[in-house]
Structure 1
Amino acid sequence: MKEIFRKVPLWFWFVWVVVMILLIVNMVQGYSSALNAIAMCLLTIANGIRIWKDYRYSAIIFFVIGIFCLIVLVKTSLL
């Protein structure tokens, strides 16, 4: 367990906690699924930044998925 905490940077834990709080509050309050999508996109992009050094191919996939989700979110919210 200590190895997991050493490998994951502190800034990623902060982003993860903020996203999880946002998701839980959004589930309880029932605001909109757009906030959930934005939170998950932020987490995906943060994970891509976190693993860039060791797993570059996976990080690129995370970036593409995050950008694709943001584009779909913007297109559906504007229509």
Structure 2
Amino acid sequence: MKEFFQKFPLWFWFAWVVVMILLIVNTVQGYSTALNAIAMLILTIANGIRIWKDYRYSAIIFFIIGIFCLIVLVKTSLL
């Protein structure tokens, strides 16, 4: 169990908890898709930063997904 917690840094756990709270609140309250896009943007960027040293190609894919979430956020906020 200790090995599992050493694999993920503390700042990533904090980002993950914030994202899960955002997604749960949005699911219960049904605010908007913009909140989901913000949550996914935070999570994909944090995960990309976390795995950059070991898995560079996967990190690049996470950054591309983050850009896609940002585009969705901008499109939904403009409509």
TM-score (norm 1): 0.90
| Unmatched segments (≥5 aa) in structure 1 | none
The residue number in structure 2 matching 1:12 is 12
Could you list the runs of 4 or more consecutive aligned residues of structure 1 that deviate by over 3 angstroms after TM superposition?
A: none
* Matched letter for residue 21 of structure 2: I
The whole-number CA distance in structure 2 between the counterparts of 1:37 and 1:67 is 10
- Root mean square deviation of aligned Cα: 1.2
The residue number in structure 2 matching 1:73 is 73
* Matched letter for residue 16 of structure 2: W
The whole-number CA distance in structure 2 between the counterparts of 1:76 and 1:40 is 14
Which runs of structure 2 are paired with 1:1-79 in the superposition (5 Å)? 1-79=1-79
TM-score (norm 2): 0.90
How many aligned residue pairs are there? 79
| Unmatched segments (≥5 aa) in structure 2 | none
The whole-number CA distance in structure 1 between the counterparts of 2:5 and 2:40 is 21
Q: Percent identity, please.
A: 89
